[in-house]
Structures are given as C-alpha cells and as structure tokens.
Amino acid sequence: MSSAEPTEAEPTEAGSTEQTGPVVRESGRGPRPAAPVPPALPGLAESARRLADATTTSTALVADALARIEATQPTLNAFRHLRAASALAEAAEADRRLAAGERLPLLGVPVAVKDDTDVAGLPTHFGCDGDLPPVGSDSEAVRRLRAAGAVVVGKTNSCELGQWPFTEGTAFGATRNPWNTAHTPGGSSGGSAAAVAAGLVPAALGSDGAGSVRIPAAWTHLVGIKPQRGRISVHPHSDSFQGLTVNGPLARTVADAALLLDAVAGAHPEDFHRPPAVRAADAARRDPGRLRIALAWRPPLTLTGAGPDPEVRRAVTALAETLARLGHHVEEARPRYGLIGLAFVPRATAGIAEFAARHPEPALLDPRTRSALRTGTRLGGRAVRAARAREVRQHRRIGALFDASGFDVLLTPTTAAPPPRIGRFDDLSAWRTDVAMAAACPYAWPWNVLGWPGVNVPAGFTRSGLPVGAQLLGPSRSEERLISLAAQLEDDLRWFERRPPV
C-alpha cells in the first residue's frame, strides 16, 4: 500500500492480521499525484453475470478493485479502511464455490460499505478521529451482504457522524468528486459515492438521515435509493437517529441499485420497523404505467430563502419534460410541508448526541459536533417524543398530495445547488454551517422525517461539467413504483454511458 499511510494491523476474528488502511491525512488543499488507474470495474449485475459464466474470477475482480482504490486514494480519498488480505481470501473461497456450481446473487462480487456500518474486525469511526477498537461482529446489513456472497473490500469515508453534505474532516482529509476533484462528492455517504462513480467498486452501501445517499448520488451522477424506514436493517442500532436514518444503495444503474437493495433488505429480530418485502430487481424491469407526477420547486421552510440554482432548475425542467414525453402527466404542485423542520431538528440533534456521547475522546470531535451534542441533549426526552408524535399528522398533511390530489410521484431537485468546492464549509460556526447546508440542500430531509422512500436519478450537468440530480419521492412503501419509473428514465436518457475522467 505504497500510495497511502496504513494504520496498524488489527487482529481479525480469525486471529490473523488485517490492514485497516489506507488512511490518508491531507495537510493541504490539492490532491496528491496518483498512480496509473486500472480500468473501471463492471457494474454489479454485470460482475455477477461474468462470475456465473466463468468469464472472470472473484480474485481478479477484487484484486482490480483494490488496485484501483490504491491508485486513486491520493486524489479521491474515498476509503477509510481496506480489508485487502481478507477480501482476497474471501474472493478465492468464492471462486472455489463458483467452480463447484454454487450460485448466489452477489457471489464473489466486490462491494464497499460506509464507515458508519459495522464490519467485524474493523473499527467503526463514522468519520471521527481517535483510536477505536475493532468491532466483534457484522451489522445486519453486512451479514446479509455476505449471505448474498458479496466480498466487502473496505469501508468508505463519511463526514463526522454523518451530519453534513460534504465528506471532509481532520480525521481523514477531504474526499473528492471524481468529476472534478476541486469539488465535494457530497455527504455524508461521499466516500461510497466517489468510489462507485469512479468505478472503484460496482456498487456501495450508504446511509441517509437527511439526504446522505441522495445528495452524493446527485453530485456524482449516480442512482441512490433511500428506502422505506426498516427496509434495510440498521441493527445493531434499533432506530438510528430517532428513526431518520436508513441504509441505501448507490450504483451507476437502476438495476444495480435494485439488485443491491434486494440483497440487503430485511429485518433483524430486534428491529422496530418491518415493512412488507419488495422485489426491487423485478420492479426495475417493469413498465411503470402512466403516472401523475407533481413537480415541486418550493422547498420546505428553512429560513434561508433558498431556491434552486438556475442550472439545477434547467436540468430538472429537462427531466420533467422527458417524463412528459414518456407519457406521464406532469404538473407543478406545492406539498404542504408545514413546519416539518420543528420535528426534524430535535430528532437529528438527539441522534447526533447519542452517537457523540459514545466517543471515547470527546475532545477530538469537531466543535460543530460538540455544539450539536449540547443541543441534542437539551432537546432530548420530551421534545423528541413530541417531534415523533407529530409524524402521523405529517403523514396525513403531506400525504394528501398522493391521497387527495391523486399524484403518484413527487419530483423535486435533489439539491438546490451544484456540488460546492472542497473547503467551502471550513472554519464556519455550527450555525453558519447549518445555514449554508440548508441553503444548498433544502429538499431531501423531509422524507427522512416521514420515513418514506425516494430515489435520486441523474439530471445532467452544469455548463462547467458538475453533476446534478432530481429525486423521485413517493408515499409509504412505494419503492417499486419509484424504481420502475427511474428505470424507464434510464432507458431513455442512458446516463450510465457518461463516466468521469478518472
């Protein structure tokens, strides 16, 4: 691992050693020179098909993924930890199983997970600095990934406790956008998004508590699915960030994102939320029918006066016109968001406080995190219970768009702005960071309060070549409809054919 600084070897469950690097700490703004980059990996479904057809091996795919990660780590800095030795051993075992005729949905396919997700033998830093011990067991989502045959090659960078729409921090430096390394890939699942967009892995898991899958998907030209609350288990957490946060896939195509969703979906016995199963991959192959689509430009109240950047508005307008050309009825509408932010803030800050309080060295946390910890501690208890009690009324009020007005899908920009430059949020106070964040990303978080599904789809590029996205939002348990509609758009626009110049 010559291109990055490895951490000390950590003992794995098997008693051998595992390199938990690379970890890159950048002292300057500019990206470091990179080694030659191997070719991009094929997508998730294509990788699985090639493995089943014996036209490639898991060992070759995993080795290529590891080489590509190392070659791009100095510039993109997508990964916090690699499982190089274990991943190669698991790939060799997958090759033996494939040769013996075993078939599983993802047998031998390399994938990555975000660093808020427990992987046995690795620490779960969740973007924080400090020495944390390796965890003893996999999260339920990773357990299901392994059961589907996937090889987890490493854990991707996240901002500290997933709070911000950028992936930068003193613990690991800055994760950069493969479309333009002067800009952020978004956050908090920025490492996963950068890794998939750059072709380091075919697909990756992220998590979304206020848009943290959809925002980086929008800013890196990916499909990102925020599923229904409970669709993918967050265990060992029972109700992550007071019910705001869910896990979700990032991929270059709808079919790949749906395949990953099917592989990890399902509840742990201790989970609170248990929506009925969906068949996402089948939905990606199904015509959505003619739908009534509401186009909303006005975001929820954020007190910033934010509206979409003209280039974002142009791109989303073009997407709406494509939907109309495909036979859907599209008209502008205004969801009745009300004062939904009053329900979001107590839940979000209480969730941050719960995670921050478990850190063994609180002094290492970002001052903005410590501010959120104090706010969350004050707003915990009664305020959080009141905020959660409002959810039923919020379902009725906002759900009237679907129930009373008869719309099937809500279309909005995913973000109000294109991806900001690296360092845009440096040295801001907690309040100024929140204001800047709300101005750039006012559209995504209400669906976390509601617990309903949403899908980011690529909407095109600014004139300077930066990606922007649009989100397809639906009522409770509407993933299949949203996925079918996204797949129809993809068939027409073929956004997967455009790749970043990594």
pLDDT tens-digit map of 48-94? 999 999 999 999 999 999 999 999 999 999 999 999 999 999 999 99
Task: Name the catalytic one among 86, 114, 189, 192.
Answer: 114
28 pLDDT more than 60: no
Q: Is the pLDDT of residue 364 over 70?
A: yes
How far apart (Å, rounded) are the C-alpha atoms in residues 76 and 33?
Answer: 10
- Inform me whether the pLDDT recorded for 15 exceeds 80: no
In Å, what is the CA distance from 152 to each residue of 17, 53, 83, 168, 181?
A: 16, 21, 7, 23, 25
Residue 327 CB burial class (10 angstroms; 0-12, 13-18, ≥19): exposed
Q: Which of 354, 336, 350 is nearest to 381 (CA)?
A: 350
User: Which carries the bigger pLDDT value, residue 15 or residue 142?
Assistant: 142
Q: How far is CA 303 from the centre of its chain?
A: 26
Radius of gyration of the chain (CA): 21
- pLDDT, average across residues 145-165: 98
What does the pLDDT read at residue 502? Answer: 66
Q: In this model, does residue 38 exceed pLDDT 90?
A: no
Above 60 in pLDDT, residue 5? no
Residue 224 parent element (H or E): strand 223-226
**What's this model's pTM, rounded to 2 decimal places?**
0.93
Within a 10 A sphere around the Cβ of 364, how many other Cβ atoms?
Answer: 15
Q: Examine the pLDDT at 9 and tell me if it is beyond 50.
A: no
429-487 tens-digit pLDDT: 999 999 999 999 999 999 999 999 999 999 999 999 999 999 999 999 999 999 999 99
**Alpha carbon separation from 362 to 157, 201, 367, 368, 371 (Å, rounded):** 20, 33, 10, 12, 12
58, 189, 207, 212: which one is catalytic? 212
- As given in the structure block, the two tokens for residue 375 are 């706010």
* Rounded Cα distance, 349 and 445, in Å: 14
Q: Is 484 a catalytic residue?
A: no
- Has 212 been annotated as catalytic? yes
3 catalytic residue (yes or no): no
Top-confidence residue, 9 or 332: 332
Q: What are the tens digits of pLDDT across the range 244-269?
A: 999 999 999 999 999 999 999 999 99
Q: Does residue 388 carry a pLDDT above 50?
A: yes
Catalytic-labelled residue, pool 188, 189, 192, 371: 188
